[in-house]
Structure 1
Amino acid sequence: MNESLLRDLVPAVIGVLVRRGADFASAEDAVQEALVEAVRGWGDEPPQDPKGWLVTVAWRKFVDATRSETSRRRREERIESEPGPGPVESSDDTLQLYFLCAHPSLTPASSVALTLRAVGGLTTRQIAQAYLVPESTMAQRISRAKRTVAEVRFNQPGDVATVLRVLYLVFNEGYSGDVDLAAEAIRLTRQLAAMISHEEVAGLLALMLLHHARRPARTGPDGRLVPLVEQDRGLWDTRLIAEGVDVLQTALARDRLGEFQVQAAIAALHDDAQTAEETDWVQIVEWYDELVRLTDSPVARLNRAVAVGEADGPRAGLAALADLDPSLPRRAAAMAYLHERDGDLVSAAQLYAEAAQAAPNLAERDHLTRQAARLNAQLRS
């Protein structure tokens, strides 16, 4: 069973049903039921026209569901007789589905869940496992999201920037359960890049590829987090790096700079260094200056301060951190790192311990706790 083929077809099939008169929520449900039948019946040999097969089965599911509802008469007035065998409409509404699933009326969590289901073709169970929540909880989240966008016109223009935010959220979730969300985000962003010529779509794809290339070195054999400076760069995926750089260069050549292109440029400079010591920190600081100019993001300012600490010395980095909100996530960790580089092990150990308490995940908490323990051991010796 070619699951990738099935998932690639999902948005196009939903689009066909919507254009035939189905509402989005009912169309999405019908397509999910058709997918179940495909998994059960196709085996290793899909039909000659997989999309046509899915459209036919999904339309039947939709008609059957519609007829069973109390509003049967009103709805059937706009349902044409079931189309006979033949070629399926060639219109691809995938881009509109991206916009719909990232609608401003939805919360970020709901947008992510709906995108993974309606555009990504994942089941509710797969999404729930990826986010480590009960299937019933995820089902409710998706149902609420579908109700929220039920009245949104399918042909309304959407906001590319919002779609990119949703895909970036998916990528940052990484991996859990049996679905690799980072890989899924890359797949969906590739799909979007094939549909729309947009420099920031290309920038996000490049950023994902350049970060994903380091994934094999990001954790040790025991599952512990390995900081970038300590990673075995021989494990990095050079094919993904080359592709990411190529995509980025094409985007930058359009001379319409955006934040994802800037972040990708920073990632490319890290990936280009053969060793941590060869990293071009001066140029990285310059790119962070651009990112701060574009976004005025506290996170960008935090990362810029660390880069300044590498380029101009730890005290310069600490001075840049001084103006940031003390409650900013990972500020304490950044201060700990720069204090250690400056030789102040007492302050560094205290800050590592403080940062561990506020860590957003267990892997990061374990890493910071070990850093604090390492410095305390040095201080006692």
Structure 2
Amino acid sequence: MAHFLDRVKTVLRRGKRSSSCAGPKESVWKRLPSHVLVNILAFCELRDIGSVSLSCRLLHDRVAKQEFSIAWAYIQLRKQMHQTGHPLDGFLSPGDDIAFICELFPPPPPEYSSVVDDSAGYSLGYLGDLKRCWNTCIRLSYHLAAHVAEHHLETDPIAQPLWSSSKTEKELVYSRAVAALQAKLVHPTAYAVFFLEASAVSTHDSHDSHHTHELASSVKRQQSILQKAPFTDTHIFLSTHHCMQLLFSTVQRLMGPEIPHSSAESWISLLLTTSTIERIVSFFLAIAQDDHKKHKGAHDSTWSHRKEFLLRMRQDLNDYVATMSNHGEHMDDGPELNHVWFQAASDEMDRRGAIPHTVEDTEVHILHGSVVKLQCGSCYDHYNE
């Protein structure tokens, strides 16, 4: 199968390099049955489908005409491959699980396609959005896992002595810890993204102009989201809550010492409510850039990507407070963390009788009996009556 795909991609890329589809080549693509073209393109990556579409007018028109069929076949093929464990390129990774993300974010109304059709929600634009969303989930879960693993190995009383004395296996232990944590976090991260997207839509549709009333109604709207799929599954709901708690505590720690813990809640709330989740990814990337420079010996103690990010966040927070003041709301510190997810989640846990609670399989083994527990203050291990 891989050899066949290589042959197909080679032919298609040759078509792209050709200045036109004149002569016999045009007639070949013109005679190719539509279902065969759809099946071929379903095996290709999105960038290759785009290359085919741009290679000549004939293929552009055929791809546009068959856009729904191509997108639908693309998803169905990958669902089948993931279920049977037979990947296209010889291996499967968390990023291949498009079956999961497309069920979480089903096709929208037909706004991506120029074709007037009730089923036009399946489009190449939709596939592109799925890819970007899933890549964001993968990147966020990776960076979160990396920082949690590193912090645990450096501070846990069981892991720290073994970790600090390790010479040859240090990188191996760290890599395995990150991989295990990311595998545990990637789906809850996607559920968190789903919640934030749904919450943003409901907030946009709200017409309550009074800030205090808006906050109360916002929590109710958020709780109503948690009472619908996929959060009707209590395990998914609580796992997402633990992921959000871990994300908050990690970002809070990484913002210090410039941003004290007492005010970090406002900053993180602002990141979650007025920005997309990519903004948090950008924060992690800024830290990664600084770490890379430090390892190369080019670190500047007076300036860093992280400090630049926090400076922009400070400006955003000041703008937010100024906007609220212009609406007659007195606000010194910015939004509270409970304004997004946490208050609604607490209310929903209380409604379900899930305070306190236990979630199965929350421990991630890191090193010789040392574990990271994905928990919250309402878990039995931490809950105080």
| Alignment TM-score > 0.5, same fold | no
Larger relative contact order (Cα-Cα within 8 Å, sequence gap ≥ 6): 2
TM-score with structure 1 length normalisation?
0.30
TM-score with structure 2 length normalisation?
0.29
